[in-house]
Amino acid sequence: METWLSGRKYLTANEASCKRLRGFESLRLRQITKFEPKQNNNILKYMEKKNLIIGILILSLGISLYLAFQNRGEVQTTTEIIPPSESLRLAYEESSQHSAMADIAELSCFPTSRFDCGGGSCTASAPATYYFVDYGTEKGTYFRCDAKGCYPYPVEVTTSGEFTQFTPSQGQAMMFKVATGDILDNKGEFIDVATLGTGAIVSSGKCEFRK
């Protein structure tokens, strides 16, 4: 009898334990079920916030690109070519027809544009210099002329392909380069660079071959 009662108590205890276990699982299931909608809402809120941030970044990038192109257009406007003055053209024509240097020069060159460069930018300016060049195969004389007169510079001559370059042999920080060939259909085009401190004056135009 005592053994049966002990067994009965054991079964009752096991039943109670099983009930508690089932109750715990039921409670856990309710908690999980209750938590899932809340978790889904948090995910949705996170995705909405993420999309908002991405939208703001795209909008900021678009505005930045627009402003950059606007600024670029403004820079292009400030660097439009300024033509040479009529007085410079008259002085060039007079020198070309009535000067000893023009008689010996192989090239007479008149500028069509000038840019004054320094500090990372260039500004258009009216050309103020025209040129005559007398040269042989290795040496020559390069004349820079302005409203005050013409100044000769001995130069070394370097030919490379369709181009001939003239560099002052006494160390002046200048360089004159002209297309002497016609393979690129640009014969006579020139560029002149004269440095001033850390800046540079860059002129370009067209040369006439006199010989």
Q: What integer pLDDT is reported at residue 124 of this predicted model?
A: 94
Q: What integer pLDDT is reported at residue 74 of this predicted model?
A: 46
Q: What integer pLDDT is reported at residue 4 of this predicted model?
A: 41
Q: How long, in residues, is the chain? A: 211
Distances (CA, A) of 127 to 27, 30, 149, 166: 91, 88, 15, 20
Q: What integer pLDDT is reported at residue 9 of this predicted model?
A: 46
Q: What integer pLDDT is reported at residue 7 of this predicted model?
A: 45
- In the numeric block, which tokens belong to residue 211? 């010989």
Instruction: Point out which residues pair with 131 in neighbouring strands.
Output: 109, 144
Residue by residue, pLDDT tens for the chain (211 residues) are: 444 444 444 445 455 554 554 555 555 545 555 545 555 566 666 666 666 666 666 666 666 666 665 555 444 435 589 999 999 999 999 999 888 888 889 999 999 999 999 988 999 999 999 999 999 888 999 999 998 889 999 999 999 999 999 999 998 999 999 999 888 889 999 999 999 888 999 999 999 998 7
Amino acid identity of residue 44, one-letter, is L
> 43: helix, coil or strand?
helix
Q: What integer pLDDT is reported at residue 125 of this predicted model?
A: 94
Residue 88 region, left (φ>0) first, then alpha (ψ -120 to 50), else beta? alpha
Q: What integer pLDDT is reported at residue 98 of this predicted model?
A: 85
CB 166 within 8 A of CB 157: yes
Tell me 1's DSSP state: -
